[in-house]
Structure 1
Amino acid sequence: MSDELLTHEEDGILVMTINRPEAKNAMTKAASEAIAAALDRLDAEDHLRVGILTGAGGTFCSGMDLKGFLRGESPSVPGRGFGGLTEKKPAKPLIAAVEGYALAGGLELMIACDLVVASVSAKFGIPEAKRGLAAAAGGLMVLPDLIPHKVAMELALTGEFITAQRAYELGMINRITEGSALDGAMELARAINANGPLAVRISKQIMEESRGWPRDKRYEEQAKLLPKVFMSEDAREGSLAFAEKRSPNWKGR
């Protein structure tokens, strides 16, 4: 794996750190491919239950590496999108831990994550128009689904930044931390980890996929996925653990 992405495991959590602090973690093709490989590993290894994506050196990601762009390099992975993430998410939960700036493609990486924990000093924006470019990795399509349309329009057309507090008020991020965003993300990841992994994964799948289901077919489509949860060993274990006043011993099946 490229040294442009560092990974480590802790308590079933895979932490992925974009490691280009000298370039404000601007995204390269090598870093994108490394993120895609790490996300494949997150989904493939049963003992891993939650992923965290963050950046080294006090910045999340400043977007596409413009020097690479001028050389003709694309910081995307076919079928996976920018940063190996924006077009295909992992099946397991992914949290963004944001320090400093999440700009342009960096913001698009962030909103591709399921949950976001940000430092109180973090800043967010899609300033591509200032460089004669467009936020083509989800900023123009996904952001209006997450925040009011007119606010998303203003961000896209002006390229201006917003604060962590404003992002929280808009519902773009989940939690603001006074201290380390990664510490806050680890706390959130552990809260998820305490739950049945199969229930978590299927719940995420339903919440993602149901946005595209016809309204009159939603319960019908959901019913195709729910037996994987309700007929599982974990469903019985969760009920037994509750009755016996103990912590569940999840199997993920």
Structure 2
Amino acid sequence: PDPDGPGGPGGADPLPELLGWALEGLASVGALVMRGPGPGTEAQLTPLGNWAVWVKLEQICVAAQSPAGNIELSAEAMLRGCADLTPGPARAEYRAWLAARPTRGALDELLDAARGDDALVRGLAFEALRAVGAAAEPAVRAVADEPGLRPYALLWLAEHEGRDPEQAAEVLTREEATWLWVDTAAAVADHGESRLLVRHLDSAVQGTVPGLLEEVRAVGHPRTVQVLVALAAAHPDPALAKAMRRAAFQVHTGGV
């Protein structure tokens, strides 16, 4: 480097010029005001500037609260890392991960993860979007027409608009509720225990296993066969297990 160039022993210090440029930029957007002429000029934060500093400090503090260490991971890896956490610690991880990156990019990452094959990640992605709050609404509304995300998006929007979580399911059509049931069953089959999969039958809107099987066959979820096979293997009732295997075979072969 040139010893007489900027920053060298014989050159001018570039810091004052850079600092002046930064202060002028902040002043131009109303974040601070400059008081006094010449070298004695002072910069004072405006209410907007104080708010911006407060937000940045809050983001730094939130980002520091990531005991599970997921903050630098991709959205999908972060969600998988939170899968075994209870809701409180999981929300803390979501908030820390979100605070460490721009909102738009974080939303895109979470929704891309939700579009993947893992139903558990899909559900967790929308849990993380709940931690974003109102800023996520346009992005969630935009994906409500995607079949694989629609039930999750509609539930998210209903809760965001003030519906009780237990009543939010009323916004889903019967077909959407059945699709969501299969998707949740796929998550349980992949990551849960057999007894949980059997208990999941009780949450179906159809009320009876034969009614559920009829509608599950028609809903077109890509994991239907695997879910029915897993249910048949886990269910203690031989007659119902046989009906599930028959339904799985019919879906697999395109029969009725």
TM-score by length of 2: 0.29
As a proportion of its length, which structure holds more strand? 1
Relative contact order higher in (CA < 8 Å, ≥ 6 apart) = 1
Higher helix share: 2
The structure with the largest alpha-carbon Rg is: 2
Name the TM-score, length of structure 1 as normaliser.
0.30
